[in-house]
Amino acid sequence: MRYIHNVLFNFDLKQMNPELLVPLVEKFHSIQGIQHVYFGKNSTPETDKTAGFNYGLTIFFDSYENLEAYATHPHHESFKNAIHNYTVAVCVMDFPVT
Each residue's pLDDT tens digit, 54-85: 999 999 999 999 999 999 999 999 999 999 99
User: Region 31-55: what's the mean pLDDT?
Assistant: 97
Q: Can you tell me the mean pLDDT for 29-52? A: 97
pLDDT at 70: 98
This prediction's pTM: 0.95
Q: Give the pLDDT confidence score for residue 98 in this predicted structure.
A: 83
Q: So what's the pLDDT on residue 21?
A: 97
Q: Among residues 7, 2, 57, which one has the least CA distance to residue 33?
A: 2
Rounded CA separation 17/29 (Å): 22
